[in-house]
Amino acid sequence: MLFGATGLVGRELLKRLLNDPHYGLVKIFLRKKLTVKHLNASVHQVNFESLADAASSFSGDDCFCALGTTMKTAGSKEAFRKVDYEYVLNVARLAKQQGVKRFIVVSSIGANAHSSNFYLKTKGEMEASLQQLGFEQILIVRPSILLGKRKEVRIGERIGIFFARMANPFMFGPLDKYRPIKARVVAKAMINLANLPPEKEIYESGELQEYGR
């Protein structure tokens, strides 16, 4: 199962999952209609406000979740939290109820339920809530600044990427996790981790660089 297939990491996940020998069928859940021409693809258009209506389609071994928005796109803190916390938790709860074993989710570097930063606090609370659901395995990935071609222009992010690339040669040791990371590397790391024996639940961006090689 894949949620968030139209985002930066989600698009990379979709390409790789459809051609990964571990998966014979990839169920893609989307808010808007999308045509995916592949023998291993099954597309499901859903309403995230009434997601339980689609619960009968929530069968599978692994659920990859790359749902997320930005404060600018959402327009308010409440709207942002609805996507990055409520939607993610609703997906996870229904997946767990339908017998899904592993839940693999994109969070953020610095996620912390006790942070004074609203974005990082929301991500941290999402992580903490997921860990209480009782999946056989939870995998939480915390990428740093993502590199890749987005559909929308994010000026603030572009500025951050510019300065991060300037500082990249000096980011080693404890600073390694702050290096910018390519979306395709994150996607590859998520799939690789899902198919390895479980070691832990949270993987920082520097570790994703290793698993996504």
Residue 37 corresponds to which amino acid? K
| pLDDT for the residue 178 | 73
Percent of the chain residues past pLDDT 70, beyond the cut: 87
Taking residues 159-184, what's their average pLDDT?
Answer: 64
pTM: predicted TM-score of the whole model, two decimal places = 0.87
Closest residue by Cα to residue 187 from 70, 57, 44, 18: 18
Report pLDDT digits (tens) over 86-114: 999 999 999 999 999 999 999 999 999 99
Residue 174 corresponds to which amino acid? P
The domain limits of the chain are 2-207
| pLDDT for the residue 159 | 52
The domain defined by 2-207 folds into Rossmann fold (3.40.50)
Confidence of residue 179 (pLDDT cuts 50, 70, 90): confident
Give the span between the Cα atoms of 146 and 15, in whole angstroms: 17
Residue numbers annotated as active site: 119, 123
Give the span between the Cα atoms of 163 and 22, in whole angstroms: 38
In the three-class reduction of DSSP (H, G, I as helix; E, B as strand; rest coil), residue 64 is classed as strand
Percent of the chain residues past pLDDT 90, beyond the cut: 79
Counted residue by residue, the chain has a size of 213
- Of 62-71, 168-177, 190-199, which gets the smallest average pLDDT? 168-177
The mean predicted confidence, pLDDT, of the chain is 90
Confidence of residue 162 (pLDDT cuts 50, 70, 90): very low
Residue 131 corresponds to which amino acid? Q
In the three-class reduction of DSSP (H, G, I as helix; E, B as strand; rest coil), residue 74 is classed as helix
Confidence of residue 191 (pLDDT cuts 50, 70, 90): very high
| pLDDT for the residue 172 | 57
| pLDDT for the residue 186 | 98
Strand positions, DSSP E, 120-167: 137-142, 146-147
Are 176 and 210 contacting, i.e. CB atoms less than 8 angstroms apart?
no
174 has a pLDDT exceeding 80: no
Are 46 and 34 contacting, i.e. CB atoms less than 8 angstroms apart?
no
Please return the burial class of 159, using the count of CB atoms within 10 Å of its CB with bins 0-12, 13-18 and 19+. exposed
Confidence of residue 173 (pLDDT cuts 50, 70, 90): low
Confidence of residue 164 (pLDDT cuts 50, 70, 90): very low
